[in-house]
Each structure stands twice: as structure tokens, then as C-alpha cells.
Amino acid sequence: MIKVEDVYFAYPNGVEALKGVSLEIQDSEFVAIMGQNGAGKTTLVKHISGLLRPSRGRVSVDDTETTKMSVATLARKVGFVFQNPDHQLFSETVEEEISFGLRNFGFEEKTIKERVDWALNLLDLTEYRGVSPFMLSGGERKRVALASVLAWDPKVVILDEPTIGQDSQQKERLRQFITQLNRQEKTVIIVTHDIEFVAECRPRVVLMAHGKILAEGEAAKILTDPELVSQASVVLPEIAQIFLKLADLGFPKEVIDVYEAGRLLLERFGEST
Amino acid sequence: MSVFDGFKFRSVSSPVHRMDPRAKFFYVCVLFAVAVMFNQLVPLLVLFIIQIPFVLVARVQKEWLRSMKGSALFAILIFAMNLLSLYFYGGYASLASILERSLTMTARFVVLIESFSIFFLTTSPDLLGLALEQSHVPYELCFAFTTAVRFVPVLAEEAQTIMDAQKARGLELEGGNFARRIRNYIPILIPLIVNAIRRSLELAETMESRAWGANKKRTNLYVLRAGQKDLLLILLSISLLAGSIYISAFVKVPSLTEILLV
Amino acid sequence: MAIIEAKGLTYTYPVGARPAFEDVTIEIEKGEFVLLTGPSGCGKTTLCRCFNGLIPHFYGGKLEGGITVAGLNVADNPIYELAQHVGMVFQNPENQLFALSVEKDIAFGLENLGVPREEIREKVDWALKTTGIDDLRDRPPYELSGGQQQRVAIASVLAMQPEIIVFDEPTSFLDPLGAKQIFAVIHNLNRNLGITVILVEHRLDLTAKYANRVVIMEKGRVVLDDEPQKALSSEEARLIGVGIPKATRLYKYLKANGISLSKIPLGSEEAHQAIREVLAA
């Protein structure tokens, strides 16, 4: 369980990135931290993985405060996949890249080999085992970075803007992958401003603006509230926009899924004939 | 990195900031020449003091003090080395003259740091690049200079991000013996270098797409024109240089010890 | 004559085993707004680099077939010549700005062309105003947000007053609001200045409504080239897996269940109006 208690944080240059944030994330939850660029989303998750220490307040993972552990120790539990895989990749082969974290955490050679095989398989990278990561395409490099983090089987996985530059098929694969991770009882936290992606995944949404949490709850509730959405400087999902405009005709407002929208409309059309 | 703060450009609106970099650079060169010309302490102290008004007018006292503080370590090193070598190998008469000689060497160093610090604190890289261009330095070099300066903060931030990313994979950057520490920096250096190369490729694409190389004669949005103050500074520098040459050749400059004993 | 004409265009990178795209034949008229999309690796990014000569002059490799842009044969003309007719805005805003102030960045292209100073000043001011960033004139790029940086990049290209501007996934790094702003600027350039726009994008929900034509590529070939409503509601588009706007998907769902909307919507405005019509009837 992750507990963020009244956290304040200011960067060395004086910018106050977090102004009193409190949040609880249970095991196996799927949470999306949303807001516009600069709202404090990445700053918040960096606290959870121990890369940043709060100026005020506490962050604890499984009842231990993050300030009482080194980043490396905490990383064993909280895997962080950075937005740009090129900030992590450096090895001669994909295989070595994936073993990097495992070696750092002191796994035995035999276990390392097993886990590398497992990670390669999980992310469809087996054919690239001996290839240099720099020779791979952007999407493939993202998978290598993800594999290298999942390899050591962290309990919590944080994905920072995983959908940037991805086409819709890649996003669909990502969505399915996250579902799989949840089923394996991993806690998944994504930082994103991709409204449509969140509308399809329907995680618990934590909406941030100006260093504070504006609201949190079900995706369908949060993302269809025009007030909140405007305060956070994000946009309504397309389907929600349509239903907002149809609100005067008595349609429900908290609709973000195409199929649900279609069914509701068909019902209404059926009624009027 | 506080010592570098003393050389980073600070954007303030002051007459010194607005002066033509070429005039300022000429002044710094003259100071350099004069500092090397004299082996006595007194003239060097004078040089040190005459620059202080510039610091105050430019309102960069805080940063300038930082560069002084930062160079203090080196200054002490120079002082100590000179002191020791003169004591053992010098053959000078008195302790006082040994001290004075060491102080002189130190003062020379400090004067140089002082003038360079003032120069960089008050000259925007923009204007500096322009000055280089107008001084007929090949445009490619000027461009490389300003682009490098523009990307310094970006690369610094990227280095930090890379360190965070690797720490989050269990990399320990502190502790361990020297060799181990060097090896631990490989996962930082490689992404940094690879990304820098990728970045320059994208920059090159952009440059080409904006007609780089279209015309041998590039024009410029801005032009540096030397104003009254700049000419005044150049005149001052020339007189300083002339005066110093005269003094060092014909006037016997007393040592500090002699002045104090009188 | 079309402003861009490509016939049987095939290109292979120097280290490529297979062509990045094959047999592309396409004609783009002056003033069009073409949306170029397709799954990652389909060749769209490579294709748009042919429009200003980066391919073949910067990248080398083998370019077969022919392509003329604004009357110039791409293979026979240097990039700096083509760049005066075709501007290009890239994905990463940070790597398109290299001067220490916004003004100097915008002036860069004009300076390269040897344009006289007064003219540079005029065009820079005009570009700043047209992209709505006049207040950012003296700022260094490091202080700007991604959206602001990208607008500076657009202004820098605009200042050279090209007839065509190609945008290669310009909003990849921006949040939805920043992206909307950029698309509004691009729409303005096309609608009010008559600039031919080629926009490579995945975010079709935000952009389809501005385009008059959608070109979909897959595995190096152009597989669909039609007006947005037809292209995006087609079965082919669904199978290829491009990001069909939700409004269009809703239309298809209703159609499959017997309800026909009067027109194929690309965005929420069109969709809700079409739905109202059906309910009123």
C-alpha cells in the first residue's frame, strides 16, 4: 500500500511543485494520475519511487517511509518506467539491458537467466535478444525499457506517459498488458494526459492541477465533469463531449465508452419509434 | 557548481551589460597583458581595485563574490606552492619578500579570474555570438558556440533524468572503490552521449529545412554598433596599457614591504 | 498543376534491407489540408521527408520514381532551394530551437537566405503575430513550455513564407490542450493564408475535422486516399488500426444496428447534431 500524507515539495530553483497532496493507493489498484503538463504528476510519482524527498509531509510504501530507504532498495518494490526509453538504454544487447536491474539487485546468475527469458517472452522481444537496443524502433525500445523493469518483478509499476508517440494498435496492446499486470496483482500507476486512453482503460483517476489533487474517483465520473476538466486544463473525452451536448435531452452525462454510448442511443431510438 | 555561477551570464539591465562585447573583451585582454607585465604586488592590487566599480555598476556583486570564493582554493594553492618553492629554492633575503612575491603571484591569478568573471557575467551569449560573427569568425563556429550555450541547461537536466532513471533500476552511484564508481557512470554516460548525437541529428535536419547554406553571405537580424561608452572603454584600455608599459619600463615600483616600512 | 506530384516513388534507406515505402503515387493541389496517417513504421514519416528534399539529399539512400514539389524536381534541387517552398515542423519542439531568443530563431531561415535586415524584421514580426506569440519575442527557448516552443518552430518556418508546410507529428510531446492550440494555428494557416498543409498525425479525433483529405499508409504503401468521412468510416481503416475518431466509431456502431445518421461525423459537434436530427424525426 502506498500512502502520501500531506506532501509539499519545492524544487531547488524554488518552484513549488506539490502543495499539500494526500493520496492512498491500495495493492493491485490501477490508478491514472492526470492533469496538464506542469500539474505535478511526475513529481508526485517520483516521490513514490523515492527519487524525490518531500519538503514536508510523508510518503510511505508498505508502512515504511521512503526517506528511510535508499532509492535502490525502494526500486526493488516500485518499478519506474521513464517516459523516454533512451534515458535508460545503454547496453550492448537487449539481453544485457534486461539483466541490468537484476544484477543491481543481487539476483543469482541462474535466476537472472530465467527472469530475462521470462521478460523477453512477456513483451515479444525474444527475437531481439542479442540485438543492440539502439538498433530497434521507438516502439520496440519502449518495450525493452518496460521489460527491463518488469524483469525484477516489482510489486508496483509506474509508467510515465506510456502512450506518447504510440499508434492506436500499440495503445491497445498496452491497455491489454496493463490489465494482465493487474491480474497478476501488481499495482499499476500511470501518469498520463491521454484522455481517450484513460477512457478506454477506466482506471481510478486522480486529477491534478497546480500541485494539488483536484478530485479523484471513477474515470467516468471525473472525466465527464466539465468544471473539473476545465480547472485541470484537460479536455473531455469525445463521447463525453457528445453526451454533454445532448444533456438537455435527458441523456446521462457519465458516458465515456463508445459501446455504452451506442447502446443508450439505440435504446432511445427504439423508444421513439 | 557554485564557482561556475560566477561565470554564468546574469540578465540585468545595466550599462555594462549593454556594452559591446568586443570593447569589453579588448579591455580584458589589456588587463591580462598588464597583469603579466608587473612582478610587483602594488600594481596588481591597483588592478584588482579598479575593476570593482564595474562589478558594482553591473550589479553582479553576489555572483562575482562566488567566483572569488570558488577560486580561493586555487589561490591558496598558488600561494602555498610559491611560498614553499621560494623558501627552499629562492635564495631571497627576507621572509617578507618571499611572502610578498607569493602574494604577487596569487594576486595575478585573482585579477585574471576577476576580469574574466566580470566579462562572462555581463555578456549575454547572444551578444557574444554576434560579436564573434562580426569579428569575422566563421559562422559555423559562432553557431556552434551559441547552440552549445543554448543546450547546456537542457543537457544538464537530461543528465539528471538519466541518473534518476538508472537509480530507479537499482544503480548505486555513491560508495564503492574508485574503479567501481567509474564503471557505475557508464549507464549515465552512454545514454547521455547517444541522446546528444540523436539530438544533433534532429538539429541538423531542422537547420537544413531552414535553408542552411543557401547563401554564402548571411545577413543578420541584429548588428552590433560600438557606442560612445564602448569607445571610451577602448580609449581607457589603451591608456592603461600605454601607462603600464611606461611605468614598468621607466619607473621603479616600490614593493609593499618597502612602503610599509617607511 | 498539382503543387506536389509523386509518381511511383520508392525509397530505401542506406542501411535498409527493404524499402521504407514503395510505389507511392500521389497528387496534392494547392491549398489542400492532407492528413497523413497509419500505424508506426508504415513509412509516413519517411515519405514526408521527401517533400523538402531531406530525402534523398540529407539521408542518402535510393530514391526511385519521381517527385516534384512547387515545380521543382526534388532529386535535382538542393535542400536550401526546396526549403523556400516547403517548410517542415518536426516532432520534438526542443530540438528545433537553437538560438538564445525566440526572435533570433524565427530570423534564422531568413538570415540563411541573405534577406536584407528590414525585410527580416518585417517577416519576423508578421510570423510572431500570425502564430500568436508576439509576447514571447525576447524569451530564451529554455523558459518556454512545449506548446510555446512548437509555436516558435512553426513561426520560424512561416517566416520564410513557404507555399507548403509539412508537420510531422507536431503534438507528440504536448498535452491535449497544447495540441488543440497547435492544430488551431495550423488550421488558420491553411484556411486564412492558403498554405498547403500536410499533417502526419495519430490523433485523428483532434485533426480529422480540419482536413479535406485523409491518406492512410500501411507497410510502406498508400492504401487509402479519400475524404475524411469516407476514409475513416471505411472497414479498411478499421482493419489497419488507425485511431478512428470516437464520433465516427459511434456512427458506425449505430449504422451496424440500423440507425443511419444523415452525415458521417468526425467530431462531437457534428455527431450531436446528427443525433438530434434522428431523434427529432
Please say if the pLDDT value at position B4 is more than 70: no
Residue-wise pLDDT tens digits, A172-211: 999 999 999 999 999 999 999 899 999 999 999 999 999 9
A255 Cα to chain B: minimum distance (Å): 37
- Domain range enclosing C73: 4-228
Domains held by chain C: number: 1
For residue C168, the cross-strand partners are C200
Please say if the pLDDT value at position C59 is more than 90: yes
Per-window interface: A 250-269 vs B, CB < 8 A: none
Examine the domain organization and report whether A268 and A226 are in the same domain. no
**Average of per-residue pLDDT across A245-273:** 87
Cβ neighbours of A272 in C, within 8 Å: 279
Assigned domain for C255 exists: no
Examine the domain organization and report whether A147 and A45 are in the same domain. yes
- Domain range enclosing A50: 2-234
Contact A156, A2 (CB under 8 A): yes
Please say if the pLDDT value at position B3 is more than 60: no
What the block records as the C-alpha cell of C233 is 468510416
Phi, psi torsion values for C11, nearest 5 degrees? -135, 135
pLDDT of residue A83: 93
B162 at interface of A, judged by CB pairs closer than 8 A: yes
pLDDT of residue B92: 61
A272 Cα to chain C: minimum distance (Å): 7
Residue-wise pLDDT tens digits, A151-178: 999 999 999 999 988 888 899 999 999 9
Whole-Å CA distances, C76 to B139, B161, C29, C81:
27, 43, 22, 10
Question: Do residue A235 and residue C254 have CB atoms under 8 angstroms apart?
Answer: no
**Average of per-residue pLDDT across B234-248:** 89
Residue-wise pLDDT tens digits, C94-111: 999 988 899 999 999 999
Cβ neighbours of C257 in A, within 8 Å: 262, 266
Give the separation between CA A72 and CA A78, rounded to whole angstroms.
10
Contacts (Cβ under 8 Å, ≥6 apart) of A259: C253
For residue A187, the cross-strand partners are A156
- Of residues C52 and B37, more confidence is placed in C52
Residue in B2, B169, B195 to test binding to A, most A beta-carbons within 10 Å: B169
Q: What angle do CA B74, B79, B85 make, to 5 degrees?
A: 125
Examine the domain organization and report whether A161 and A261 are in the same domain. no
For residue A79, the cross-strand partners are A157
Give the separation between CA C253 and CA C247, rounded to whole angstroms.
10
Would you place residue B123 in the very low, low, confident or very high pLDDT band (cuts 50, 70, 90)? confident
Assigned domain for C267 exists: no
Examine the domain organization and report whether A145 and A254 are in the same domain. no
B195 at interface of C, judged by CB pairs closer than 8 A: no
What the block records as the C-alpha cell of A235 is 479536455
DSSP H or E segment with residue C266: none
Instruction: Name the DSSP letter for residue A247.
Output: G
pLDDT of residue B130: 86
Contacts (Cβ under 8 Å, ≥6 apart) of C7: C25, C65, C66, C67
**Average of per-residue pLDDT across A123-141:** 91
Instruction: Name the DSSP letter for residue C25.
Output: E
% of chain B residues with pLDDT over 90: 17
Residue-wise pLDDT tens digits, B11-57: 667 777 778 888 888 888 898 888 888 888 888 888 888 888 888 88
Would you place residue B1 in the very low, low, confident or very high pLDDT band (cuts 50, 70, 90)? very low
Cβ atoms within 10 Å, residue B219: 17
B168 at interface of A, judged by CB pairs closer than 8 A: yes
Please say if the pLDDT value at position C144 is more than 50: yes
Question: Do residue B202 and residue C79 have CB atoms under 8 angstroms apart?
Answer: no
Question: Do residue A36 and residue C177 have CB atoms under 8 angstroms apart?
Answer: yes
Would you place residue B68 in the very low, low, confident or very high pLDDT band (cuts 50, 70, 90)? confident
Please give the residue of chain C at the shortest CA–CA distance from B154: C142
The CATH number of whichever domain residue C15 belongs to comes to: 3.40.50.300
Cβ neighbours of C54 in B, within 8 Å: 205, 208-209
Report the side by side order of strands in the sheet with A78-81.
A78-81, A156-160, A187-192, A30-34, A204-209, A212-218
What the block records as the C-alpha cell of B255 is 614593493
Check if the interface score ipTM surpasses 0.95. Answer: no
Tell me which residue in C38, C176, C278 faces A195 most closely, judged by beta carbons.
C176
% of chain B residues with pLDDT over 70: 93
Based on its alpha-carbon atoms, the radius of gyration of chain B, rounded to whole angstroms, reads 24
Domains held by chain A: number: 2
The CATH number of whichever domain residue A100 belongs to comes to: 3.40.50.300
Question: Do residue A167 and residue C246 have CB atoms under 8 angstroms apart?
Answer: no
Computed from CA positions of residues A8, A10, A15, A18, in that sequence, does the dihedral angle turn out positive or negative? negative
Please say if the pLDDT value at position B128 is more than 80: yes
Instruction: Name the DSSP letter for residue C57.
Output: I
What the block records as the C-alpha cell of A42 is 511526475
**Average of per-residue pLDDT across A42-57:** 94
Contact B252, B258 (CB under 8 A): no
Question: Residue A185, CB half-sphere, CA atoms under 13 Å: how many?
Answer: 1
Residue-wise pLDDT tens digits, C166-211: 999 999 999 888 999 999 999 999 999 999 999 999 999 999 999 9
C193 Cα to chain B: minimum distance (Å): 20
Whole-Å CA distances, A35 to A20, A125, B198, C170:
16, 32, 29, 20
Residue-wise pLDDT tens digits, C119-142: 999 999 999 999 999 999 988 888
For residue A60, the cross-strand partners are A3, A65
Residue-wise pLDDT tens digits, B173-204: 877 788 888 888 899 999 999 999 999 999 99
**Average of per-residue pLDDT across B223-246:** 88
- Of residues B59 and A22, more confidence is placed in A22
Q: What's the whole-number average pLDDT of chain B?
A: 84
